[in-house]
Amino acid sequence: MYYQLILFIALVSVGFVFGRHAEQKHFKSILQREQSYAALLTFSMRFPPPELEIRDSALVAGNVVISVDYFKRIAAGLRSFFGGRVAVYESLIERARREAILRMKEAAMAQGASMIINVKLETASISKGAEGQVGAVEVYAYGTALVTPDTPAFTEVVLNQ
Amino acid sequence: MIVSNIEIIPGRTVSKHLGMVQGNTVRAKHAGKDIMAGFKNIFGGELKSYTELLQEAREEAVARMLEQAKAIGANAVLNVRFSTSSIAAGAAELFAYGTAVILADEA
Amino acid sequence: MIYENRQVPEGINVSHEHPLKEFFALLAGLIVIIVTVVLVLAMLANYLAPLIPFSMEQKLLSQMDAKWQQEKVSGVDLQRQQYLQTLGAELASAMDMPDDIQLNIHYSKGKTVNAYATLGGNIVLYHGMLRKLPHENAVAMVLAHEIAHVKLRHPIVAAGRGITVMLALASMTGLGDNGMIAGLINQIGITSTLGFSRRQESDADADALLALQKHYGHVAGAEMLFEVLQEQATVKSPDFLNTHPGSAQRIQRIKDFSSAHPGDGKVTALPQYLRFEK
């Protein structure tokens, strides 16, 4: 029991330290990439701008699976005893969603697109955190990439950054 | 702020599309509610406390989405979609997203 | 129509409270709730369990099937058991044993360095324990300690408390469907009842010392028992995680008792069949 207590404290601390470090690093990278991909526009509208001359279009998607760390799991478990906002999962899912959108954008840029429309997002839990299982969340972002005649110039701008 | 899940507001024109805005929240139900839900699972019927909880959480997700929209200077969010998923045992995520736009003044 | 993506400010979709602050607040809340529930129930059980008649305890035990009940004792082991039974009876007569309680002392060949009292006035001493005790006074300390448990109805109190707390914890862990939290709730709940167990041990120690004082006129040699236990302990964990008080503390209590009740301090030798090579 003594060892169990020590192991528990160790796992929670390791989860907290590494999980938080990974999260901060990830958010930094997300912010930086969001800025460099800012020129690629994304919308959830179903119709392309009427005046836009579209050379090509393609379905593009990005997905990411992010695991819950031990600290978050315990913290969320404690929260589920009392109810209320699960703050530790909010940042997790925010990360996952923004990462999925960024990956979708990367896919669109590979197509030479300048705009993604009709973006939709799906969230799924890979396993529901049952004992002995890995808790993880998947976010899938997909949309229609539009390639316009002036796109090459845009891709150059992005890649040169 | 106009919130709509259609893309064209009758009589108004979109002057600017500002991109996607999102709002989400993760909520857990507390243990006491589980007891009542356990009873309800025997008799069936609406889980009122869960209905309220999810609705409350959804309203928060919308509020966060609108906060984003307001922060980037939009006056309407169109084509709003909702999604709900269960992230972990006992915790549900409520998510709302749409396109922030600026509607031109009525003609 | 103009199309652009404006940059959304950070931090709208996340909460700003520091996760550790929330974590500790929730953990503290959970501990307070569980400890309160468990302590109230345990106290209730402590109060109610002794009201169960001793005959009921015996009946309850006859439905169980413990290992020592099946163990056949013969030859020199029977001699050892009879010796323990006689010593136990002598000590019991020095302890104001209630009339309805019967003692049943068993000798077990097991190698565990342990002895215990269980329901129905049954006391089991392991060979592993006996072979480490150098003189009768140390054996008497073990016996008197276990007899005190029986006299104070500790086995039924512990069983009653255990069942009540288990049920309460099971209903609490059944609520959430998070497996890890269930483990945490159980640990907190069980740890919070250990205080009762340590209290029982101290009470039994105190009663045993009084009996030894009455029987031998002094308590010298009693501390040998805890010195043996101290040697056995491989891990030194903090007191609040243990079912028994620390051996050092128990030895100190014996010393305090002994200086308050000085005697000749002469220890009685064990019969040949209970002397073992070191």
* Residue-wise pLDDT tens digits, A89-127: 999 999 999 999 999 999 999 988 989 999 999 988 776
DSSP at C209: H
**Confidence at residue A119, expressed as pLDDT on a 0 to 100 scale:** 93
State the average pLDDT over residues C216-244.
Answer: 84
Task: Inspect the interface and report whether the beta carbons of A90 and C14 lie closer than 8 Å.
Answer: yes
**DSSP assignment, residue A12?**
H
* Rg, Å, chain C Cα set: 25
The CA distance from A113 to C240, in Å, is 65
The mean per-residue pLDDT over the stretch C55-84 comes to 79
Q: What is the pLDDT of residue C258?
A: 87
Q: Are B36 and C24 in contact (CB under 8 A)?
A: no
Predicted pLDDT at A156: 46
Across the interface, do B72 and C13 touch by the CB < 8 Å criterion? no
pLDDT at B106: 63
Check whether C40 has a pLDDT greater than 90.
Answer: yes
| Amino acid occupying residue C260 | A
For position A127, what pLDDT does the model report?
63
| CB A147 within 8 Å of CB A56 | yes
- Per the CB < 8 Å rule, is B21 touching C175? no
Phi and psi torsions of A136, nearest 5°: -150, 155
Mean pLDDT, range A17-43, rounded to an integer:
93
> Of C195, C110, C208, which Cα lies nearest the Cα of C152?
C208
Contacts of B68 (CB under 8 A, 6+ apart): B21, B22, B23, B100, C8, C9, C12, C13
Encoding tokens for residue A36?
A: 């460099």
Identify which of B11, B29, B9 has the alpha carbon closest to the alpha carbon of residue B77.
B9
- Which residue ranges in chain B fall short of pLDDT 70? 31-34, 36-38, 40-41, 44-45, 89-90, 106-107
Whole-model pTM: value is 0.76
Any A CB within 8 A of B30 CB: yes
pLDDT digits (tens, 9 = 90+) for C125-165: 999 888 888 889 999 999 999 999 999 999 999 989 998 88
A83 pLDDT exceeds 50? yes
> If you average pLDDT over every residue of chain C, what do you get?
86
Checking if the pLDDT of C177 tops 90, the result is no
- Say yes or no to pLDDT of C92 above 80: yes
The more confident residue out of C217 and A156 is: C217
Neighbours of B64 (CB within 10 A): 22
Tell me the per-residue pLDDT of C58-69, one tens digit each, with 9 for 90 and over.
887 777 766 666
Q: How far apart are the CA of C219 and the nearest CA of chain A, in angstroms?
A: 33
Could you tell me which residues come within 8 angstroms of residue B43 by beta carbon, excluding any fewer than 6 positions away?
A: none
C-alpha–C-alpha distance, residues C117 and C244, integer Å: 14
Contact between residue C243 and residue C197 where contact means Cβ atoms under 8 Å apart: yes
Q: How many residues does chain C have?
A: 278
Neighbours of C60 (CB within 10 A): 14
Q: Which A residues, 52 through 81, put their C-beta within 8 Å of a C-beta on chain B?
A: 68, 73, 76, 79-81
pLDDT band at C246 (very low <50, low <70, confident <90, very high): confident
